[in-house]
Amino acid sequence: MDLLTGFIAFIDKERLFTRDQSMLLAVSGGVDSVVMAHLFKAAGFNFSIAHCNFQLRGEESLRDEAFVEDLAASLQVPFHQVRFDTTAHTASHRVSIQVAARQLRYEWLEQTRVTAACNYIVTAHHMQDSAETVLMNLSKGTGIAGLHGILPKQGHLVRPLLFAQKADIQAYATEHHIAFVEDSSNITVKYTRNFFRHKVIPVIQEAYPGVVANIAGSITRFREAEILYAQSVETHIKRLVEQKGNMYMIPVLKLQKTVPLQTVAWEIFRQYGCSPAQLPQVLELLDSSSGKLVETGTHRIIRDRQWLLITPLAEEEAPVIVIEKDRTAVAMAGGLLKLKTSARKDTTTIPAAAHIACLDKHALQYPLILRKWKQGDYFYPLGMRKKKKLSRFFIDQKLSLPRKENTWVLESAKRIVWIVGLRIDDRFKITDQTKELLTIEWETL
């Protein structure tokens, strides 16, 4: 089967997207992403190309940028690009170059996907990337979820080259005389991954030349095993956990007899804020006297005669913070907001990071109100014309329970302006008419 046929079959089998949807391809200019763009063209899919210039390699970065721009032109598809001050981000966020590049890249891609009204971001991860992930997870210790490798579809990301071996991608480029630049996407690759790619896998290949394909085949089975695992966990939870109002009850005797105890207990208690380090303490409650308890970040687990009772930690009086027009900083539980007003110039670029809100100041009515989100809240997510419930938005964002519970919203005249750190409201975005900007940066503490 040639690469193009395999590519279309994989998209179909994994239901990655349909022909009427529009895709945003992350293209570095390296062989993988360039071949991917050519495959999209050959298949007749609807797509745009996005390129990040991390400005880390001077002339070479500019060369790559120009190369990808030309590629988009020759394939006759829209082109989006951005230049990051990666070094500054590294310093201001105290993260490594790799982490900075990944953060900037995915934040900007998501923002671009929304503003360009694309359905999915597409990356060129292939079979070996996925095999590397599994080997690395295993080497640093993992559970069954660490064995599914890189997923073909995850939120708004799809990876239609996961079926392909690196060698097949390279062969396709040669056969079709496809030009590419040296793979600059390696900037976003961690040191450890490169170490596995260049030092570990070649050694294993001496004993098992087919190791990459072998692991990829195993991943397919592990993914199905993970589904069966989840089904079984669900059955245990239904059997063990009883809900009464906002309290959950687990019969001690039934839990004690559960096989396998450790994993089932972990899958239950993690939902109530239990950390792996706390699990042994929670399990000790099975042999404790009434009244003993363990507190997680979000819940209290109490031994009460033949039951474990799980109750949410008493919530503090819901805090409301009023922000007057001249305020420049606001401290609250979990973080700090920094506010800055500036005039809009033609050269103004809108920061892409989700932790920065860039708002049209004249659309706002003061004072602004900062509060925790509550059920029933809704907003118009940036790039969308329809309103959306926050509860629904959190599900799409796959927020964990504690993360969700601690989310703040910024309000102006009873309208939500910003889900702090996640997404601004479309009604307050910068437009061509905007004269003055309010930029708010959220720093988690």
User: Looking at beta carbons only, is 107 or 226 nearer to a second copy?
Assistant: 226
User: Taking a C-beta distance cutoff of 8 angstroms, is the pair 134, 146 a contact?
Assistant: yes
Tell me whether residue 146 is annotated as binding.
no
> Per the annotation, does 294 bind a ligand?
no
Question: Between 60 and 234, whose beta carbon lies closer to a second copy?
Answer: 234
d(CA 33, CA 141): 31
Q: Could you tell me the smallest distance in angstroms from the CB atom of residue 191 to a second copy?
A: 8
33 is in an annotated binding site: yes
Our CB check for a second copy shows the closer of 13 and 340 to be 13
Shortest Cβ distance from residue 262 to a second copy (Å)? 6
The interaxial angle of helices 261-269 and 211-240, nearest 10 deg, is 70
Q: Is 28 labelled a binding residue?
A: yes
Report, in Å, the least distance between residue 216 CB and a second copy. 9
92 is annotated as contributing to ligand binding: no
The reply, when asked if residue 29 is annotated as ligand binding, is yes
Give CA–CA dist 400/274, Å, rounded: 12
Name the minimum Å distance from CB 227 to a second copy.
5
Scored b (16 or more CB within 10 A) or e, 399-429 reads eeeeebbbbbbbbbeeebbbbbbbbbbbbbb
What's the closest the beta carbon of residue 224 comes to a second copy, in angstroms?
A: 4
Binding site for a second copy (CB under 8 A): 134-135, 138-144, 146-147, 192, 195-196, 199-200, 203-204, 206-208, 210-211, 213-215, 217-218, 220-225, 227-229, 231-233, 235-236, 259-260, 262-264
Name the minimum Å distance from CB 211 to a second copy. 5
Give 214 or 444: the residue with its C-beta nearer to a second copy: 214
**Please, which residue, 226 or 426, has the CB nearer to a second copy?**
226
Nearer to a second copy, 57 or 223 (CB): 223
Residue 235 or 342: which CB sits closer to a second copy? 235
CB of 316 to a second copy, least distance (A): 36
Residue list, annotated binding site for ATP: 28-33
